[in-house]
Amino acid sequence: MIDPYDFQNLKLPDIAEYECAKAGHIYPAGTSTLQISATQGQIGFLKKPSEVEPKYVAIVPIAGVNPMYLNVVLQKNIQQFMHVFKAGINIQFDELANFKVQLHNVETQVAIAQLFSNLDDKIEVGIQIDQQLKNQKQWMLSKMFI
């Protein structure tokens, strides 16, 4: 049953494996990334297997945790975490063990992940339409004074 109010309060090591990204290593699709060097709390998500820059931590959810759901929870909680644990312009890797996360049941995780995935898809379509309109404008302006 989908219930957004029924969840466990845990810490990141309870639901994910994470490491400082290694140059040349390909991380799997569904990996979340968190910039820890010169950071403002940037969190990313790998839609396909990719390399991750060394200034990031690669966060891979354990079995039973929806990757997109974990990414949403990380984005929800990053500012609170940074307020407490950011050291200057960096986040210390060891402090990630204190990153608080919420864990819903699998059905609720899937529903939340699908909602945000659909929003991301709509945003991407909007960006593509915007770029097409900019291209049309440039073409029209170029033909205007022939």
pLDDT in tens, 96-120: 999 999 999 999 999 999 999 999 9
107 burial via Cβ count (<10 Å: 0-12, 13-18, 19+): exposed
| Residue 135 in domain | yes
Question: Do the Cβ atoms of 10 and 102 come closer than 8 Å?
Answer: yes
pLDDT of residue 32: 98
| Residue 2 in domain | no
pLDDT in tens, the chain (146 residues): 999 999 999 999 999 999 999 999 999 999 999 999 999 999 999 999 999 999 999 999 999 999 999 999 999 999 999 999 998 999 999 999 999 999 999 999 999 999 999 999 999 999 999 999 999 999 999 888 76
Residue 91: HSE in the Cβ half-sphere, 13 Å Cα cutoff = 27
| Residue 24 in domain | yes
Cα 66 to Cα 44: distance, rounded to the nearest angstrom: 15
| SS3 at position 59 | strand
pLDDT of residue 144: 84
* φ/ψ bin of 41: left (φ > 0), alpha (ψ from -120 to 50), beta (otherwise): left
Query: Where residue 16 sits, what CATH number does that domain have?
Result: 3.90.220.20
| Residue 1 in domain | no
Other CB atoms closer than 10 Å to residue 17's CB: what's the count? 12
Please write down the long-range contacts of 31-35, taking CB distance under 8 Å and 24 or more positions apart: 31/58, 31/59, 31/60, 31/67, 32/58, 32/59, 32/60, 32/61, 32/67, 32/70, 32/71, 32/74, 33/57, 33/58, 33/59, 34/59, 34/74, 34/78, 34/91, 34/96
| Residue 31 in domain | yes
pLDDT of residue 146: 66
| Domain count across the chain | 1
Cα 41 to Cα 88: distance, rounded to the nearest angstrom: 12
| Residue 117 in domain | yes
> Does pTM surpass 0.85?
yes
| Residue-range definition of the domain harbouring residue 56 | 7-144
Look at the block and give the residue holding tokens 């390909």: 26
pLDDT of residue 87: 87
